[in-house]
Amino acid sequence: MAKNVLVIHGPNINLIGSRETGIYGEESIEDINKQIILHAQSLSMNCKVMQSNHEGEIIDMLHAAKTEYDGIVINAGAYTHYSYAIRDAIAAIKIPCVEVHLSNIYNRDEFRQRSVIAPVCAGHIAGFGKFSYMLALYAVKELI
C-alpha cells in the first residue's frame, strides 16, 4: 500500500519564480509542485502539496496530518528561524518530518542560519534548489 506524504510550503514560497530569482530561481512553484508530486509517485508514495503564509494554518495542517499522512516534508520559510509554535506542532504529531530549504541557509544572512524546527525534524536538507524536495522525499520514504 502506498504511503502518504504531505509537503508544506511556508510563507512567500508561493512567490517562487518571481521572488529573488537570483536565490530561488525562475521556475514557478506550480511547476516545482508538479515535479514533487511526480517524484513522489515514482517512489510509490501519494503526495499532497499545501502552502500557507499563516503560522496558525501551517500548525493546523501539521495537526491534521497526524491521522492522514505517514511523513512530512516542510519548508517553513522564515518561520524556520523563530516559530516555536510550528516546532512544537512537529514534535507533537510524531510523524517523520524532513525540513527543506531551496537555498543554503548557511550561506545567507546570519538570522537565517538557525533553525528552531531542526531539532524536532528527522533531518534537514538545504541548498539544492527544487532538488532539496526530491532528496527529502527519498528520505521520508526510507523513514516510513
pLDDT at 13: 94
pLDDT at 124: 94
Q: Where are the domains of the chain?
A: 3-143
Residues of the chain with pLDDT below 70 are 108-109, 111-113
CATH number corresponding to 3-143 = 3.40.50.9100
pLDDT at 111: 65
| Residue 56, CA distances (Å) to 10, 70, 99 in order | 11, 21, 18
pLDDT at 22: 77
**Which active-site residues does the annotation give?**
24, 101
pLDDT at 50: 98
pLDDT at 106: 73
